[in-house]
Amino acid sequence: MIDSFINFLRLFKNISDADAELIRNEISFRKVDEGEVLFEEGHVCREMFFICKGVLRIVAQNDKGNKMTYFFLKENQFCSILNSFNNNILAPEGIEAACDAELIVLKKQKLLGLYEKLPYLKELITGITTQSLLEKINVRNSYLGEDAATRYRNFLMRQPDIALRVSLSDIASYLGITQQSLSRIRKNMR
C-alpha cells in the first residue's frame, strides 16, 4: 500500500530504488473510518496525509457555529492544513474522513529530514500541493455569485465521484447551504 505513494511520486519524477527505500522508512500507513477526526482544529498541524483510498474533508466552524466543509480531497491527493503546517501557527480548520479511507501519513519532522536527504522531494511535493491549491481556489471562486442549484450542478460535474461517496450533509456544507436546501434542490432536479 505504501508503494502506491512511491508510484504516485514516480509519475512526476524518476526515483531510484534506494531513494524509494529512504522514503518508505519515514512514512506510515493508516486506515480510518468515516467520521473519524484526523486533525483537530485549534492545534498546529504537523502531519500531511496522502490519500490512497477514500475522501477526506477539511472543515471549520463559521460565525454561526456551523461546521462547513472547505475542501474534499480524494485518492492521489495530499491533505494537510498548509498554513499551519508551513508556519507553525494554530489551525482554525480540522481534517475528517468523509468516508472510510486509507492514508499515507507524513510526519513533518520526518518529511523535513527527507527534504534534506532528497532535495528534489521538497520541490516535488510543494509543487504538487501548490498546484492543487490553485485548482481548489479556482473551484471555490467559480461558485461566487451562483445560486445553490448551479453550485450543486457544477459540483456534480466537477467531482462526480466524490458526490457519490460522501453524505448529503457534507455536500451541503461544502456548497454553503443547509442539507434541507440541498435535498430540495435534488428534488427539483428530477
Partner DNA sequence: TCCTTTTTTTACCATTTGTTAAATGCACCC
Partner DNA sequence: GGGTGCATTTAACAAATGGTAAAAAAAGGA
Q: Which residues bind a copy of itself (CB under 8 A)?
A: 60, 62-64, 66, 68, 70, 82-83, 86-87, 92, 126, 130-131, 133-138, 140-142, 144-146, 150, 154, 173, 176-177
* Residue from 62, 131, 142, 183 in contact with DNA (CB under 7 A): 183
CA 59 to chain centre: 10
Q: Give the per-residue SS3 of the chain.
A: CHHHHHHHHHCCCCCCHHHHHHHHHHCEEEEECCCCEEECCCCECCEEEEEEECCEEEEEECCCCCEEEEEEECCCCEECCHHHHHHCCECCCEEEECCCEEEEEEEHHHHHHHHHHCHHHHHHHHHHHHHHHHHHHHHHHHCCCCCHHHHHHHHHHHCHHHHHHCCHHHHHHHHCCCHHHHHHHHHHHC
Q: Which option in a copy of itself, DNA, none does residue 184 bind, with CB closer than 5 to 8 A by kind?
A: DNA
Q: Which is nearer to a copy of itself, 24 or 140 (CB)?
A: 140
Q: Which does 86 bind (CB under 5 to 8 A by kind): DNA, a copy of itself, none?
A: a copy of itself
- If the CB atoms of residues 142 and 180 are measured against a copy of itself, the closer one turns out to be 142
Site string for DNA, 57-96 (x = CB under 7 A): -------x--------------------------------
Decide: is 133 part of the binding site for DNA (CB under 7 A): no
144 binds DNA (CB under 7 A): no
Q: Which does 132 bind (CB under 5 to 8 A by kind): DNA, a copy of itself, none?
A: none
Binding site for DNA (CB under 7 A): 35, 64, 145, 147-149, 167-169, 176-187
